[in-house]
Chains A and B, each alone.
Chain A
């Protein structure tokens, strides 16, 4: 078969990806740059600004929490025997494949006004507390959503370090904490960067979880975008939000993948 014939195989995906998605995406976003002042106005609006800063803030907190929990967990997993490690890794994969509504609902049953925590508080005659529709609820839900991503991304990175490298550090006199700081952390840093950005990009553009756990009171960018289109049919405003979201997710992701390659390349040159 001629090489050109193979391009025929690409027609359908080309039409879908380029024709239906990428070109229309550019087509929606480009006109918004004709009125850059509208972007300024977007950020001058108190309501928008609150939502924007909330999105950034909560996504950053989510990322930090995912790192704090996920990094030690994936390191611990890498120290286990292969059999245990594979079992736990596939267990951790399970929530990733579970519907976000199910996962959000799980936290609703725990955090809501009549939820499990408040039922427990009532049972010991303590006043109930508002947990659902708070920033904290969104963070919990987002960490819950992305912690498995973090662990699954870091696990192969940790396994790559190799048990002999860690043992070598021990034989040279390094205590477990020192090994973690001086060997494991530097060797997993670029992986950690990528995983962290993945979590940040994911949580800043998530729709389902913040909507379920934050409600209308604590909106995030994705719900704002939906509100602009669904309730207000304001295409231009929605396009601007879409662009901001793209910058915050895809843009940040690309930026950090360049940075992490730079970090790696510097090693590669010296290495």
Chain B
């Protein structure tokens, strides 16, 4: 009944503020002009091909992708085991452990990168690759443990018990009955873990070895020395990946909840 004009004006301002810059990037990425400009001289995909021609960007892309994929899969696996333990361990202790595991998400990334670098690399002389993997696991674990343990708590305990009464061994009961029910939580954990690992800068910055680069860091370097729409094109590609992720998760988890109703 009420128009809420003032509210609506602020909300629209907020939405514009959030989306206009991203839209501007999309426009400049497809603009044929040699500088980043809104003066449209023609549609071109040349900046996208230029991304793939840049050795530093493509190798960083490969490196980031494989690092985040490995770390996320490992992080999900660790997260599932930890979540099972957290559900079975009595309440108070379990809550204390959970908040301890989640604490790494509260520590500023730059502080985390610094501490890991000082301890793992300088003190223990652990190889850079391993240290980097540890750092990314620490980024992923809070998401994976939080989302999966929450999913597990929501799971109907009786379905596992039902499977057991029907003659299923504990491990098999978990895999064939509980795990499918956890699919949504695991998928969200995978998405959040992967995206946050892939997007991370401060931790990677400290732990990447000489000569290797993760994509966000390589992009940051690229922007520092080159000011052309290649970076816009790369941004558009990264946004598309994010959109794809969101749509896939929405489709997969959306279907599940419909099925339940």
Contact = CB atoms under 8 A, between A and B. Distances in A.
B110 A101 contact: no
Given A13-B145, A222-B108, A225-B111, A99 B238 contact: yes
B22 A98 contact: yes
Given A106-B235, A151-B14, A24 B118 contact: yes
A109 B84 contact: no
B245 A97 contact: yes
B251 interface: no
Contacts of A102: 25, 219, 235, 238-239
A64 interface: no
A255 interface: no
B28 to A, nearest CB: 6
Contact of B11 (A68, A76, A91, A242): A76
B18 interface: yes
Contact of A100 (B97, B141, B216): B216
A109 B110 contact: no
A28 to B, nearest CB: 6
Interface string B86-105: 10110000000100110110
A176 B4 contact: yes
A20 to B, nearest CB: 6
B120 A20 contact: yes
B interface SS class: helix
Interface string A182-211: 000000000000000000000001011001
Nearest to B87: A6
A10 B82 contact: yes
Interface of B: 2, 4, 6-8, 10-11, 13-15, 17-19, 21-22, 24-25, 28, 35-39, 78-79, 81-82, 84-86, 88-89, 97, 100-101, 103-104, 106-112, 114-120, 123, 134, 137-138, 141, 145, 170, 195, 198-199, 201-202, 205-206, 216, 219-220, 223, 227, 231-232, 235, 238-239, 242-243, 245-246, 250
Q: 9 tightest CB-CB pairs across the interface, nearest first?
A: A205-B108, A24-B119, A106-B21, A9-B85, A9-B81, A6-B85, A76-B11, A72-B10, A102-B235
Given A72-B6, A92-B15, 10 more contacts: A9-B84, A12-B82, A13-B79, A73-B11, A76-B10, A97-B195, A112-B227, A116-B36, A229-B117, A242-B114
